[in-house]
Structure 1
C-alpha cells in the first residue's frame, strides 16, 4: 500500500540528501493502537529520478507492506508528476500525438514505441482528471479532462501536484499516476459519498 510522503524536496534534492532517510511512519495503518510487529522494511529503487529510493514498512500480522511515496513522484509510473505533466501538455499544445512523440522520443526509440509511450500517459492523466471532475464537479465546472483546461482554472502549471495536495484525502480512490487506487479499480465505486465536502480552491 502506498501512502503520500509530503516533502519540500525536489527529485534531485531528494536523491542528493537521501530524503528517504527522513521519512517516518510512527504507527501501523492497520493497527493504529499498536499490538503488532510493525517495523521498517528497507527501501526499493525507482528508475527515475536516478538514485531514488522509496522507504517501506511491514506489518507481519496484517501481511501488508506500506511505502511512503514522495509527493513529487508519479504513482505506479516512472518519473515525476511534473515531467508527466510536461509530456501531456506538450501533446495538447502540439495537437498531434504523433508529432509530439516524434519530437519527444530519444534517438534510440522508434516512433511507434514513442507513440505508445505518449498515448499511455495521455490516457492515464485524462482518467485522473475525469476522476477529479467526478469528485468536485462544482469546483471544476466547465473544465475538460485536460492539463490545459485545469491549468486555466488553477491559474498556472503544476496541475497534478496541486491536485494531489488538495485532494490528498481522496488519493486511495483516485487512479494512478496521481492517486493510489489499484489498476482496474472502478473509481465510481470508491469515490467519496459522505463526510466533508470536496475542497475548494482559492482563486
Structure 2
C-alpha cells in the first residue's frame, strides 16, 4: 500500500474512531437516567409515605373538626378539600405507587432502554466498519492512536500499518519504562527522606 493510500485509510479510520468514541459517550450517558429514574421513584415513594404518616399523626380527624368546624365554620370548603385529599391519599396510595412504578418503568423501557439497545447496535456496526476499513483490531479504535499512526508516516517514514503498530508498541513500552523509572525515583526519594529524619532524631 502506498503512503498516500495508507494516509487515506488512517484518515477514514480516525473518522470512524471518532464516531465510535462519541457513540460510547452517548451510551454511557443513557445509563444515568435509568439509574436516576429508579432513585427518583424511591425518593418520591418515601416522601409520599412520610406525608401520609405525618397527616395521620399531626392532623387527626377529631382535631380538624374541633378546631376548624366549630371555631371557624367559614373554612368549611378548605376543610372539605383537605379531608378529600387525605382520604384520596389514604385510599389510593397503593394505586398511586403502582401507577408511578409502571409509568417510570414504561418510560425507561420505551425510551431509555430501547435507545441504549440502538446505540449498542450502532457501536458494534461502527467498530465493524473500522476493523474492515483499517484491518486494525478494536484495541486501536481511538482517535489519539490513529493520530500517532498518521504522525509515524511523516516522522519515522512508516510505510505500512504493521510498521505503525510496531512503532506504537515501542513508544508505549518506552513510556512505561519512563513511568517505572519515575516511580522508582519517588520511592528512593521517600526512603532518603525517612533516613534523614531518623538521622536527625539520633
TM (norm. structure 1) is 0.25
Q: Of Structure 1 and Structure 2, which has the larger fraction of its residues in helix? A: 2
- Identify the structure with bigger relative contact order (alpha carbons < 8 Å, sequence gap 6+): 2
